[in-house]
């Protein structure tokens, strides 16, 4: 029983560590993009966040692969929600408000596919 408690505590610590890393990454990205960003820069940030998240989650043994993938996609969703508006010119903002949900779904689908490509790269290192 005590072993199970310590294992679940270690798993929770591993997950909270990943949450902290994601929050720190998003805060840093937000601070670095106060003057706006391009979609290319957003893509670079997304790939960097996925790499960071996948590497950190690969070390957490208590989660299934699907849970890890879902967690990583949720991290990208948080990044999108925090930064995507900065990549849209003010002139296009009315159109952006209509297109935002579809673009968000596309970005999350791309992130889900990118995870499958990033995982082998993380495990090579």
Q: What is the pLDDT of residue 98?
A: 96
Q: What is the pLDDT of residue 125?
A: 64
Is pLDDT larger for residue 36 or for residue 83? 83
pLDDT of 96-124, one tens digit each? 999 999 999 999 999 999 998 888 787 77
Residue 10 CA to residue 66 CA, distance in Å, equals 20
Domain that holds residue 49: 2-124
CB 22 within 8 A of CB 50: no
pLDDT of 4-57, one tens digit each? 333 444 444 556 788 999 999 999 999 999 988 999 999 999 999 999 999 888
Q: What is the pLDDT of residue 13?
A: 54
Q: What is the pLDDT of residue 75?
A: 95
Whole-number Cα distances in Å, 75 to 82, 89, 93: 11, 24, 24
The total of structural domains in the chain comes to 1
Q: Indicate whether this model's pTM tops 0.85.
A: no
Reduced 3-state DSSP string for 98-111: HHHHHHHHHHHHHH
pLDDT of 67-81, one tens digit each? 889 999 999 999 999
């Amino acid at each position: 029983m005590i072993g199970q408690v310590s294992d679940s505590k270690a798993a929770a610590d591993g997950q909270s560590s990943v949450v902290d890393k994601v929050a720190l990454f998003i805060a840093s990205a937000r601070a670095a993009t106060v003057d706006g960003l391009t979609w290319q820069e957003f893509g670079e940030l997304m790939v960097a966040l996925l790499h960071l998240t996948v590497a950190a989650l690969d070390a957490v043994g208590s989660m299934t692969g699907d849970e890890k993938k879902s967690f990583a996609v949720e991290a990208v969703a948080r990044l999108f929600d925090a930064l995507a508006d900065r990549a849209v010119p003010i002139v296009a903002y009315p159109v952006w408000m209509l297109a935002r949900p579809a673009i968000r779904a596309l970005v999350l689908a791309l992130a889900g596919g990118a995870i499958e490509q990033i995982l082998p790269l993380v495990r090579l290192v």
